[in-house]
A and B are shown apart, each in its own frame.
Chain A
C-alpha cells in the first residue's frame, strides 16, 4: 500500500490509527489513569469530587501548573533542569503587586505587568547565562536561584501579604482573566489551552523545537551540525521563565494580591508533571501534550491527597453513642512527600521499565517463566581523559612558603575565615570576641560542619546530595516525635532517628547506583520526601521539653562537666569549656576520623578515583557502585547527626529545621576546594568553608553600631539571597579561576599552554 494512495479500503485504517499516532500510547495511559483516579476521588470524597465545582477547580489549578509545564518541557528535553520556576512565579507576582499596589508605586495594570514580564525574563536570562555560559551545573544554578528568588520575595514584601481588591475592581479586563467567564468555566483554562497549543506547535513542528530535541539528544553532534547549542539551551530557560511569568500573572489576577508563599514548591509539581508526561531526564525525549496531561494528573493527585476522606467516628460518651464527622486528612507537608515519590517513580519508569526491560522481567517472573537477562549496555567509546586543569596544583608542587599555600585548593576558605573574623572584630569589638558569641558561632559551625563533612565525600566522588537539609529535619523530627509522643528513651529515640535519616541516604544511593539515576535527581526526590515526612510527623504538635539526659548534647562542656559533678576551676580551661559545646567536640572528633579516612586510606583514594574518572576506577577493579552508595549513606548519616543535635540544642523541633542547609553545605565544600564535577575536596577544606559560611551568616545578622550611636541590622529576609549569591560565586570561581585559570589566561596568553606540548 503506497503512502499517497487514494484507495478507499486504506482510508478507514488510516483514520483508525491516526488518533493513536497523534496522541501516543503514553498520553492515553495518563488519561485512563486520571479517569480511574477521579473515580477514586468520587468514591472516597463524594462531597467534593462529586460536584462540578471540583472539576473546574482541578482544571483551574491545572492551568497554572500546565502553563509552567509547557516551558519546563523545553528545558527538560534539552537535558537540563529548572528548579527556580516556583521562585520565578513568586518574584513575578511580587514585582506586579509592588508596582500595582496603591500603597507602593500605584502603576497601571499594563506597566505593572510589563515590569513583571521583565522580571521573569531577567531570571530566565540569569539561569541561562549561569548554565550555558559559565558552565555551572543546571541543578546548582537553578537551586540557588530558587533560594535567591524566595529570599527576594521575602525581602521585598517583608513577609507580608499584599492585597489590592478595590483597585483591581476597576481593571476588570485583566483580573477577569482569572475568573469564570460567560461560558461557565474559568478563563485561566483558555490561557492554558492557548499556551499549550503554542508550545505543542513550537516544540513539535518548528525548527526551534527540532533544535531543542537535537541539543538534548546529543549536544556535541548538534554543535558540529551548526546549531548554536548555547543559544538553544539559553532559549529554553527563557521559555521556562516566560511561562512561569504567565503563571505568576494568572496567580495575582486570581488572588487580587499575593502572599509571600506564592508558588512555593511548585517546581516539584511542574517537574513531576513533565516527567510523568513521558519526558526523559536524560534529555531528547518529551512532548508538550504529555506534559500538560501530566500536569493535570499531578494536580489531581495533589487534590485527592489534600481533600481527605470524610469519616464518621462513633464515640461513646457516658454510655451514649455519638456520631462525629471528621476528615481524615494529610497534613500539607505529607503531600510533598507523595509528590516526591511520584517524581522519582516517574523518572524510574524510563530507564528501568522501558530500556532496562524491567517490566518484561517482572512479567516473566509472574508467569513463572525464564526471565530475560538485563541487557549489556554498549558504552560510548571515548569519554575522554578528563583534563580539567589542575595546573595550579602542578605549579604549587615546585614552590614553597606563601606561594605553596596560595596554590592549595583550600587557601581561599582559610583566608576568607580569617578575614571575616577580623571584619567582625572590627565592626563590633565589644561583642564579637565575647564568650557568648564564640559559643553561638561554634554551635552554628557545628551544624554546617557536620553536613559539610558528609557532603565532602559525596562531592569528591562526583555526586551531589541535595537532600541533606531535609534529612536533617527528618531525623530531628523523628527523634522529637518518638521522645515526646511515644515516650521513648532518648537513647532509643536517637538510635531510631539516626537509622531513619541514614535510610534516606540508602534509598537515594540505591536509586543512583542500582537504577542509574543522576544523584541530583534521586536526592532531589529525597529532598521533598524527607521534608514531607518530617513535617508530617510534627504537624500540629508541640514537640519540646525533652528529658534532661538528652539535652546534655546541646550544652557547653562546662555544663556537661558540672552535670557530671566535675566542674573545672576558673582559668583558661574554664573559658574554653564554656565556649565549646559538647557537640562541637563531637563534630571535631567525627571530622578528624572522616578526614583521615578521606586523605590517608584506600577508601579515600577510591572516592577520588571515582570522582576523577568513574570508568577508569571501575576498570581498575574498584567497586564504584559501592563507593557512591556508601558516600551517599555517609552524607545522610552526617545530616541525621546534625538533626539530632539541632533538636538537642533547641530543646524543640521546628519544621523549618535545616531549610537551605544543602546550600550552606555545598558552598562550604566548594569554597574549601571541592569541585562540583568531582575528584577534589578535603574535610579540612570543607570545615574551613563551613567556618567561612558561619561567619558570613553571623556577620550578616550583626548589629553594627555607628560612631554617632545609631545602629543597623540587615533584615533577615535577605540572608538567603546573599548565601545563594555566595554559592554561585564559589562555583563560578571554582570553574573559572581554579579550573579554567581565567586570570592566568588573561594575563599571559602565550605561556599558558606551552608547558607540555609534545
Chain B
C-alpha cells in the first residue's frame, strides 16, 4: 500500500452476549475513497461502523486514524477527529426546524448564554447551498419534510462539521428514485472535495455507480474485497451468498486476476 490510510482497523472482535458479531476484521479506508460495505442482514456492517465511531466498544483489536491508535468512547469523540455517521433514520428532531437540526447540539451562542439565531440560520443556509439541495426554508419544521429532504438535512448537518470521513448507513433504503439520484450526485460532490465515504448498502447498483471499492462481510467476517473497476455485480453477489473467510482475497490480490 502506497499512501497512509485515513482509517485502519485491525483484528476487530465484538460480542453481543452469546452472539459473535465481528470476528477478526481488518478494514482500511483511503482519503477521498468511496467504499461500499455490503453483505447480508446481520453480516455486521452497521456494527463494524458503530465500533469505528465509538457508538459500540470493541472487545479487542485496534482502530487507527491517520496511523494512530484511538479509543473512542462515544460518537462525539470520533466526530472531533472528523468522522460523521448518517443514520438510516437520519436521527433528526422532527419538532425542530431545519436550522436548529443542522446545528443540533452545538447551537451558536450570543454572549455565551443565548442561542444566536441570525448566525445559525445564515450558516445553515450557506451549508445547504454548498450541498446544492433545495429545502424551502431553514425555518421549516423537519417533520413536515419528505424523506429525501430529511436526508438532505442530515447530510447538511454532517458536512457542516467539515468532516474527512462520512459514513452512510443504508442511505437509499427510504428514498425515491429521484432522491437517490440526487444523493449519488451529492456523494460525487463530496468526493471531489476530498471526503472519504463509506456506504453501507444492500443495493449494489448504487455502489457500482459511485464507489471505488467494495468490501463484503458475512456473519461477522470479511469474505472479500474488490476494486469496483475490477469486479462485477455478479461476482460481488456470489461473494455475499457463498464467500468464506478462508477464500477471501484483498482488493490488491484480486486486481491482477480480474485485469
Q: Is the CB of A376 within 8 A of B90?
A: no
Q: Is the CB of A616 within 8 A of B144?
A: no
* Residue A602 CB within 8 A of the other chain: yes
* Residue A366 CB within 8 A of the other chain: no
Contacts of B113 in A (CB 8 A): 601
Contacts of A615 in B (CB 8 A): 91
Q: Is the CB of B105 within 8 A of A608?
A: no
* Residue A386 CB within 8 A of the other chain: yes
Contacts of A3 in B (CB 8 A): none
Contacts of B105 in A (CB 8 A): 606, 609, 617, 620-622
Tell me the minimal C-beta distance from B115 to chain A in angstroms: 6
Contacts of B178 in A (CB 8 A): 758
- Residues A679 and B95 in contact in the complex (CB < 8 Å), given A388-B143, A600-B115: yes
Q: Which residue on A lies nearest to B144, using beta carbons?
A: A394
Contacts of B141 in A (CB 8 A): 390, 393-394
Contacts of A568 in B (CB 8 A): none
Cα-based distance from A616 to B79 in the complex (angstroms): 14
Question: What is the interface size of chain A, counting residues whose CB is below 8 A from a CB of the partner?
Answer: 42
* Residue A378 CB within 8 A of the other chain: yes
* Residue B31 CB within 8 A of the other chain: no
* Residue A324 CB within 8 A of the other chain: no
Q: Which of A375-397 contact B (CB under 8 A)?
A: 375-376, 378, 381-391, 393-394, 397
- Residues A601 and B114 in contact in the complex (CB < 8 Å), given A397-B137, A621-B75: yes
Q: Is the CB of B95 within 8 A of A612?
A: yes
Q: Is the CB of A613 within 8 A of B146?
A: no
Q: Is the CB of B145 within 8 A of A756?
A: yes
- Residues A756 and B144 in contact in the complex (CB < 8 Å), given A397-B139, A619-B75, A620-B105: yes
Tell me the minimal C-beta distance from B185 to chain A in angstroms: 15
Q: Is the CB of A609 within 8 A of B93?
A: yes
* Residue A605 CB within 8 A of the other chain: yes
How does the 8 Å CB contact mask read for B45-61 relative to A, with 1 for contact and 0 for none? 01000000001110000
Q: Is the CB of B94 within 8 A of A387?
A: yes
Cα-based distance from A601 to B115 in the complex (angstroms): 5
* Residue B197 CB within 8 A of the other chain: no
Contacts of A611 in B (CB 8 A): 93, 95
* Residue B140 CB within 8 A of the other chain: yes
Tell me the minimal C-beta distance from B120 to chain A in angstroms: 10
* Residue B89 CB within 8 A of the other chain: yes
Q: Is the CB of A376 within 8 A of B57?
A: yes
Cα-based distance from A616 to B176 in the complex (angstroms): 23
Tell me the minimal C-beta distance from A183 to chain B in angstroms: 52
Q: Which of A581-616 contact B (CB under 8 A)?
A: 600-602, 604-606, 608-609, 611-613, 615-616
Q: Is the CB of B144 within 8 A of A680?
A: no
- Residues A389 and B144 in contact in the complex (CB < 8 Å), given A612-B95, A613-B94, A758-B149: yes
* Residue B109 CB within 8 A of the other chain: yes
Q: Which residue on B lies nearest to A375, using beta carbons?
A: B17
* Residue B254 CB within 8 A of the other chain: no
- Residues A381 and B95 in contact in the complex (CB < 8 Å), given A376-B16, A397-B139: no
Q: Which of B40-82 contact A (CB under 8 A)?
A: 46, 55-57, 74-76, 79
* Residue B27 CB within 8 A of the other chain: no
* Residue A426 CB within 8 A of the other chain: no
- Residues A608 and B79 in contact in the complex (CB < 8 Å), given A397-B140, A756-B146: no
* Residue A757 CB within 8 A of the other chain: yes
Cα-based distance from A609 to B91 in the complex (angstroms): 11
Q: Which of A659-708 contact B (CB under 8 A)?
A: 678-680
Q: Is the CB of B16 within 8 A of A390?
A: no
Describe A's contact surface by its main secondary structure: loop
Contacts of B143 in A (CB 8 A): 385-390
Cα-based distance from A605 to B113 in the complex (angstroms): 12
How does the 8 Å CB contact mask read for B89-114 relative to A, with 1 for contact and 0 for none? 11111111000100011110100011
* Residue B5 CB within 8 A of the other chain: no
Q: Which of B15-29 contact A (CB under 8 A)?
A: 16-17
Q: Which residue on A lies nearest to B108, using beta carbons?
A: A602
Contacts of A620 in B (CB 8 A): 91, 104-106, 157
Q: Is the CB of B87 within 8 A of A619?
A: yes
* Residue B148 CB within 8 A of the other chain: yes
How does the 8 Å CB contact mask read for A714-758 relative to B, with 1 for contact and 0 for none? 000000000000000000000000000000000000000001111
Tell me the minimal C-beta distance from B92 to chain A in angstroms: 6
Most buried by B among A389, A394, A679: A394
- Residues A386 and B94 in contact in the complex (CB < 8 Å), given A394-B140, A602-B107, A621-B75: yes
Contacts of A617 in B (CB 8 A): 93, 104-105
How does the 8 Å CB contact mask read for B157-190 relative to A, with 1 for contact and 0 for none? 1000000000000000000101100000000000
Contacts of A390 in B (CB 8 A): 94-95, 141, 143-144
Q: Is the CB of A385 within 8 A of B79?
A: no
Tell me the minimal C-beta distance from B175 to chain A in angstroms: 9
Q: Which of B113-148 contact A (CB under 8 A)?
A: 113-115, 137, 139-148
Q: Is the CB of A385 within 8 A of B137?
A: no
Most buried by B among A394, A601, A616, A756: A616
Contacts of B104 in A (CB 8 A): 609, 616-617, 620, 622
Q: Is the CB of A391 within 8 A of B144?
A: yes
Tell me the minimal C-beta distance from A40 to chain B in angstroms: 39
Contacts of A389 in B (CB 8 A): 143-144
Contacts of B137 in A (CB 8 A): 397
Contacts of B179 in A (CB 8 A): 758
* Residue B88 CB within 8 A of the other chain: yes
Contacts of B91 in A (CB 8 A): 613, 615-616, 619-620
Q: Is the CB of B176 within 8 A of A758?
A: yes
Contacts of A375 in B (CB 8 A): 16-17
Most buried by B among A378, A387, A680: A387
Q: Is the CB of A680 within 8 A of B95?
A: yes
Q: Is the CB of B107 within 8 A of A605?
A: yes
Contacts of A606 in B (CB 8 A): 105
Contacts of A397 in B (CB 8 A): 137, 139-140
Contacts of B140 in A (CB 8 A): 394, 397
Q: Is the CB of B95 within 8 A of A376?
A: no
Contacts of B139 in A (CB 8 A): 397
Q: Is the CB of A384 within 8 A of B95?
A: no
Tell me the minimal C-beta distance from B152 to chain A in angstroms: 11
Q: Is the CB of B93 within 8 A of A616?
A: yes
> Of B74, B92, B106, B107, which one neighbours A385 at CB under 8 angstroms?
B92
Contacts of A605 in B (CB 8 A): 96, 100, 107, 115
Q: Is the CB of A382 within 8 A of B88?
A: yes
Cα-based distance from A375 to B55 in the complex (angstroms): 13
Most buried by B among A383, A393, A758: A758
Contacts of A600 in B (CB 8 A): 114-115
Q: Is the CB of B76 within 8 A of A608?
A: no
Q: Is the CB of B96 within 8 A of A621?
A: no
**8 smallest beta-carbon distances between A and B, as pairs:** A612-B93, A679-B95, A620-B105, A616-B91, A612-B95, A620-B104, A386-B94, A621-B76
Q: List 25 A-B contacts (CB under 8 A).
A: A375-B16, A376-B56, A378-B16, A385-B143, A385-B147, A386-B93, A386-B95, A390-B95, A391-B144, A600-B114, A601-B114, A602-B115, A605-B96, A609-B100, A616-B90, A616-B91, A616-B104, A619-B87, A621-B75, A621-B79, A621-B106, A679-B96, A755-B144, A756-B144, A758-B147
User: Known contacts A602-B109, A606-B105; can you find 14 more A-B pairs with CB under 8 A?
Assistant: A376-B57, A384-B89, A385-B142, A385-B143, A387-B143, A388-B95, A388-B143, A389-B144, A602-B115, A604-B115, A608-B93, A612-B95, A756-B144, A758-B176
A residues sitting closer than 8 Å to B (CB atoms) are 375-376, 378, 381-391, 393-394, 397, 600-602, 604-606, 608-609, 611-613, 615-617, 619-622, 678-680, 755-758
